[in-house]
Amino acid sequence: MICNFTHFSIALLWFLPAFSSAQTEPMDLSLEQSLTLLRSENKSLRIAGKEVELAKNDKTSKGYLSKIIKPGCLVGVFATDGASQDEEVARGYVETWNPVEKSGGHTLKCTCYDELYKLQKSQDNRYFPSGTGTKSAIEGIFDDWEIPQGSYQGPNASHGKTVENNKYLSDIIINLLDDAAKKGEEQCFVQARKGKTSVIPRGSNKTVYVFRTDNTQMFSQSISTADMITRVKVVGKADDDGRTSVEATVNGETKYGIRQRIYTRGKDESLADAKSAAQEILDDEGKIKKEIKVQSPDVPFVRKGDLVYVMSELAQSYYYVKGIQHTADTYSMTMDLELAEPKKEKASSEKKKDYNVGDIVNFHGGTHYVSSYPGSKGYNARAGKAKITIKNGSGKAHPWHLIHTDSGSNVYGWVDDGTFD
């Protein structure tokens, strides 16, 4: 159900020490005094970074806001419904700061971005060896860029050898999540909440809000075939002349015309798996896009990626929030919604756990070998924690390469299937 939210507050959480009279105590200022607050999450990205814009510059008990809020400050936004919900809904560091003094009054415009901003603005070169898991690759980026981590509820598919040069970190992460989705994993996105960054599935919110004609200002619907993929061609690795061979063609809704995507089969990927990945592309991108824009009274707790339900003459169904903009001074919000297709049931057959490069495992103890080939010399190794550094060794006899992570174990070599969990 929809609630009317009648109170917002903005809290200045932190001043960076670079500024004089560094403020280390939280300062609570009410938005009811003066502030126009705009919070938005871009619909074109699955990195759900928040942008917060503040306007107006009223005088508070602590002075004008322009004297309190400075570039580099961490600003937190809190919302309450006056009853059970009272929580932080956004935070961000001040990146742009524009105070203006004039005879008619003082104004201040500043823009704040959350922790994910650095992913969208930073480029890097990353190399992932064949067999690297999604979780290990993404958490490695977070670690290198000192981004505090929350929960990881995302995919952990095994990726082929991947080289990303001069790419934005957000694009690298999206590519990893997209590749995992093509392999049958659930679609997920990255979200920052209360200073920590998590990877979560779409529609994982516990409270699903319902938007009806009687509590919503506007519904508009669009249906488009413009971005449909109707054919996926599976190709092998390029030869010395740079030419690739076509190994399979998977067709979708070709009645709308041929819009082809190329899928390159990985070195260690079977043709059946590659064709399955091609079908996943068609399942995800080969459908007519049905989107709805909704303008309604603000529900400040709704985030990008949330599942909502729409009841109108245009539609009665579940939708995912693709993008959202909250405007506090008018107590309104605008959402871009995408139809939530029913999730496909995965095969119920028992699958052996899939381990990937970068995973930390528990080695049971036993023999580790100097190579993965049959007949290679082996030595005894103690049980303990170890990291998978190579998967599917070319010798096949001992396909996993482990390196111990502490002094409990001394494993440093190739081991057999079933020797760790």
Convert the pLDDT of each residue in 259-283 to its tens digit. 999 998 877 778 888 898 899 889 8
Which helix or strand (DSSP H or E) is residue 211 part of?
Answer: strand 210-212
Give the pLDDT of residue 13. Answer: 46
124-139, pLDDT tens digit by residue?
A: 999 998 888 999 999 9
User: Where residue 55 falls among pLDDT bands split at 50, 70, 90?
Assistant: low
In the numeric block, the tokens 């009054």 are attached to 105
Reduced 3-state DSSP string for 261-301: EEEECCCCCCHHHHHHHHHHHHHHHCCCEEEEEEEEECCCC
- What is the SS3 string spanning 48-85? ECCEEEEECCCEECCEEHHHHCCCCCEEEEEEECCCCC
Cα separation, 361 vs 367, whole angstroms:
16
What is the model's pLDDT at position 388? Answer: 92
Residue 349 or residue 238, greater confidence:
238
pLDDT for residue 22: 36
What letter represents residue 417's amino acid? D
Span 52-80, average pLDDT: 75
- Mean pLDDT across the stretch 182-207? 89
11-23, pLDDT tens digit by residue?
444 444 333 333 4
Specify which of 46-50, 60-64, 345-349, 379-383 reaches the highest per-range mean pLDDT.
379-383
Write down the pLDDT at residue 394: 81
Confidence band for 168, pLDDT divided at 50, 70 and 90: very high
- The confidence score (pLDDT) of residue 38 equals 59
pLDDT at site 351: 47
Q: Is the pLDDT of residue 57 over 70?
A: no
Angstrom distance (rounded) from CA 255 to CA 236: 27
**pLDDT, averaged across the chain:** 80
Residue whose entry in the numeric block shows the structure tokens 């919110």: 205
pLDDT given for residue 143 in this prediction? 93
Instruction: Give percent of the chain above pLDDT 90.
Output: 24
Task: Evaluate if residue 64 carries a pLDDT over 80.
Answer: no
Region of poorest pLDDT, from 30-34, 211-215, 242-246: 30-34
**What percent of the chain shows pLDDT beyond 70?**
83
In the chain, where are the structural domains located?
A: 7-115, 118-201, 231-285, 360-415
Q: Residue 145 has what pLDDT?
A: 93
pLDDT value at position 39?
A: 57
Distance CA 367, CA 373 (A): 14
Under the banding of pLDDT at 50, 70 and 90, the label for residue 58 is: low
CATH fold group of domain 118-201: Phage tail protein beta-alpha-beta fold (3.55.50)
- As beta bridge partners, residue 295 has 218, 334
pLDDT band at 7 (very low <50, low <70, confident <90, very high): very low
**pLDDT value at residue 88:** 84
Sign of CA dihedral 232, 237, 239, 245: negative
Q: Is the pTM here over 0.75, yes or no?
A: no
With a cut of 60, say whether residue 416 has pLDDT above it: yes
Question: Mean pLDDT, to the nearest integer, of 365-380?
Answer: 84
Residue 374 is predicted with a pLDDT of 82
In tens, the pLDDT along 81-119 reads 777 777 888 888 888 888 887 777 777 787 888 888 889
pLDDT of residue 245: 87
